[in-house]
Amino acid sequence: MGHIWFLTGSQSLYGPETLAEVARQSQAVVARLNASGEIPVDIVWQPVVTEADAIRRLVLAANSDDECVGLICWMHTFSPAKLWIAGLKQLAKPLLHLHTQAGRELPFATLDQDFMNLNQSAHGDREFGYILTRLGVARKIVVGHTSDPAVGHKIGMWARACLGAADVARLKICSVGANMREVADTDGDKVGLQITFGAEVDAYGITEVVDYVNAVDPAVIDALVAEYADRYDIVPELRPGGERHAMLRDGAAQEAGIRAFLDDHGARAWTNSFQDLGALRQLPGFAAQRLMAQGYGYGPEGDWKTPLLVRAAAVMGEGLPGGASLMEDYTYNLVPGREGVLGSHMLEIAETLTTTRPRLEIHPLGLVPKDDPVRLVFDADPAAAVIVGIVDLGGRFRMVANVVDVVAPEAPMRCLPSARAYWKPRPGFYPALEDWLALGGGHHDAITTQFGAEVWVDFARIFGVELRVIE
Nearer to Mn ion, 347 or 380 (CB): 347
Q: Which stretch binds Mn ion (CB under 5 A): 23-31, 38-46, 62-70, 296-304?
A: 296-304
Q: Report in angstroms how near the CB of residue 328 gets to Mn ion at its nearest.
A: 5
Nearer residue to Mn ion within complex by CB, 228 or 274: 274
Among the residue ranges 297-305, 348-356, 383-391, 410-418, the one whose residues contact Mn ion (CB under 5 A): 297-305
Q: How far is the CB of 429 from Mn ion (least distance, A)?
A: 21
User: Nearer Cβ to Mn ion, position 348 or 361?
Assistant: 348
Query: In angstroms, what is the minimal distance from the CB of 344 to Mn ion?
Result: 10
- With contacts defined by CB under 5 A, name the span among 7-15, 255-263, 286-294, 295-303 that binds Mn ion: 295-303
Choice between 154 and 444, CB closer to Mn ion:
444
Count of residues touching Mn ion (by CB under 5 A): 1
Binders of Mn ion among residues 299 to 328 (CB under 5 A) are 301
CB of 300 to Mn ion, least distance (A): 6
**CA–CA separation, 43 vs 155, rounded Å?**
10
3-state secondary structure string, the chain?
CCEEEEEEECCHHHCHHHHHHHHHHHHHHHHHHHCCCCCCCEEEECCCECCHHHHHHHHHHHHHCCCEEEEEEEECCCCCHHHHHHHHHHCCCCEEEEECCCCCCCCCCCCCHHHHHHCCHHHHHHHHHHHHHHHCCCCEEEECCCCCHHHHHHHHHHHHHHHHHHHHHCCEEEEECCCCCCCCCCCCCHHHHHHHHCCEEEEECHHHHHHHHHCCCHHHHHHHHHHHHHHCEECHHHCCCCCCHHHHHHHHHHHHHHHHHHHHCCCCEEEECCCCCCCCCCCCHHHHHHHHHCCCEEECCCCCCHHHHHHHHHHHCCCCCCCEEEEEEEEEECCCCCCEEEEECCCCCCHHHCCCCCEEEECCCCCCCCCCCEEEECECCCEEEEEEEEEECCCCEEEEEEEEEEECCCCCCCCCCCCEEEEEECCCHHHHHHHHHHCCCCCEEEEECCCCHHHHHHHHHHHCCEEEEEC
| Residue 432 CB-half CA count within 13 A | 22
Q: How far is the CB of 293 from Mn ion (least distance, A)?
A: 20
* Residue whose CB is less far from Mn ion, 299 or 323: 299
* CB closer to Mn ion, 167 vs 301: 301
User: Which range of residues in 11-19, 24-32, 293-301, 412-420 is near Mn ion by CB under 5 A?
Assistant: 293-301
Nearest distance from C-beta of residue 348 to Mn ion, angstroms: 10
State the binding string over 52-91 for Mn ion (x if CB under 5 A, else -): ----------------------------------------
* Minimal distance, residue 456 CB to Mn ion, in Å: 21
| Closer CB to Mn ion, 250 or 301, in the complex | 301
Question: By rule CB under 5 A, what string of x and - marks binding of each residue 16-55 to Mn ion?
Answer: ----------------------------------------
Nearest approach, Cβ of 265 to Mn ion (angstroms)?
24
Q: Least distance (Å) from Mn ion to the CB of residue 183? A: 8
Which one, 257 or 302, has the nearer CB to Mn ion?
302
Question: Which residue type is seen at 133?
Answer: T
Over the window 143 to 162, marking each residue x when it contacts Mn ion by CB under 5 A and - when it does not, the resulting string is --------------------
The amino acid occupying position 426 is R
In this complex, which beta carbon is closest to Mn ion, that of residue 301 or of residue 435? 301
Interface with Mn ion (CB under 5 A):
301
